[in-house]
Amino acid sequence: MSSGTIVEAHPAHEIVRVDLGTRSYDIIIGTHLIEAAGRLIAELRPGAAAFVVTDSNVAESHFPMLERSLAAAGICAAKTVVRAGEASKNFATLERVVDAILAARIERNDLVIALGGGVIGDLAGFAAAIARRGIDVVQIPTTLLAQVDSAIGGKTGINTKHGKNLVGAFHQPCLVLADTQVLDTLPQREFRAGYAEVAKYGLLGDAAFFAWLESNWHELFSGGAARTRAIATSCRMKADFVSRDERERGERALLNLGHTFGHALEAATGFSDRLLHGEAIAIGLALAFRLSVALELCDRKDADRVAAHLAAVGLPTRLADVAGGLPDTDALLQHMAQDKKVRRGALVFVLARGIGKAFMAPDVAPEQVRAVLDAERRRT
């Protein structure tokens, strides 16, 4: 169903269009968007009921405002609350969310609203994709990571004992509301973790943006105009990739820079608070550039610059930075073997010829990856 263009957004808001023909949708970026959500959703889908999926943290901090906004717009809304954290992305919680949607008598022409970070967006989006064979979803991301990455592009899913996001579906939202004001309530560790995904966009395809981040990250963290600019720039890059390659059969895979290493580290730490997703991606970005150096694809100065910037903002960049230690190299390689980008058993990495020059490398030998990981362990 076409979402149309949101024409009643505040003039101060940035609007990024994800162009997918009849399934195109808008990402609206700015302040007070949770307050405006009811009006915007009612304009988008007049007469629809809504079912809100959120977590135990967001339910206290942001759901009351959303509930008032929906009620003021005449939208009947039910909700379910799941435990905060990556551990909720599992079959048991998915079953509970789907059952709650059905019990609330949400129909195919109604909406599921994902209010939360990446975990909630992935979980609620997947539940919406399979309940009644597909209910439209509105993403209201409340973390920096979700606003610039996971809420956009339709990737939904859960984790299993075999790895991260290995069960899921592509289910595009019909609207994304990125309220930058809610980021002020994030713990600093969560905000830093989200910043890793912002930096990723510069590293994979926009060297000038990465240089701008190096100079302006303090303002981005403090909530100035740089924050909105960085989020909008990231969203535009993601929207462009999604519009050209919705199902990740080609260039959209470049968005996984750092993720083959990062997802393996998340699995190795049990998808726990020992290592947040963005922290794992920060280490993964540093390792991807170090692997690129080892393969003589990239100048060491670029790899050092990447690690220096991530460390400057307080992100981990080495295996030794993971609290509680990690399993051996063989175990990490086993986790990588479950990565979604594996093709016919061969590891596929996103590597770089320099900052802003990422490319797909489908033929990286396991012994080359092993050598880099072993070298990392010796650095500890």
- Residue among 13, 171, 263, 340 flagged as catalytic: 263
> Whats the size of the chain, residue-wise?
380
Name the catalytic one among 259, 305, 340, 341: 259
Residue 27, C-beta contacts closer than 8 angstroms, at least 6 positions apart: 15, 16, 17, 18, 152, 176, 178, 235, 239
Considering 86, 190, 197, 376, which one is annotated as catalytic? 197
Catalytic site residue from 133, 249, 343, 344:
133
For residues 239 and 242, give the distance between their C-alpha atoms in angstroms, rounded to a whole number. Answer: 5
Active site residue 296: no
Nearest to 84 by CA among 107, 106, 63: 63
Catalytic: which of 14, 86, 190, 248?
A: 248
133 in active site: yes
Instruction: Determine whether 57 is an active site residue.
Output: no
What's the farthest any 2 CA atoms get from each other in the chain?
61
Q: Is 335 a catalytic residue?
A: no
Map residue 18 onto helix, strand or coil: strand
SS3 letters across 232-297: HHHHHHHHHHHHHCCCCCCHHHHHHCCHHHHHHHHHHCCCCCCCCHHHHHHHHHHHHHHHHHHCCC
How far apart (Å, rounded) are the C-alpha atoms in residues 231 and 367? 38
Catalytic annotation present for 62: no
Catalytic residue among 13, 45, 62, 155: 155
The SS3 assignment for 311 reads helix
Q: Strand pairing of 358-361 and 349-352?
A: antiparallel
How many separate helices (H) and strands (E) can be counted in the chain?
14, 11
**216 part of the active site:** no
Q: Which of 252, 290, 335, 341 is catalytic?
A: 252
C-alpha span between 205 and 5 (Å, rounded): 28
Is 263 noted as a catalytic residue in this protein?
Answer: yes
Q: Is 171 a catalytic residue?
A: no
> Would you please indicate which residues are annotated as catalytic (active-site) residues?
133, 155, 197, 238, 248, 252, 256, 259, 263, 277
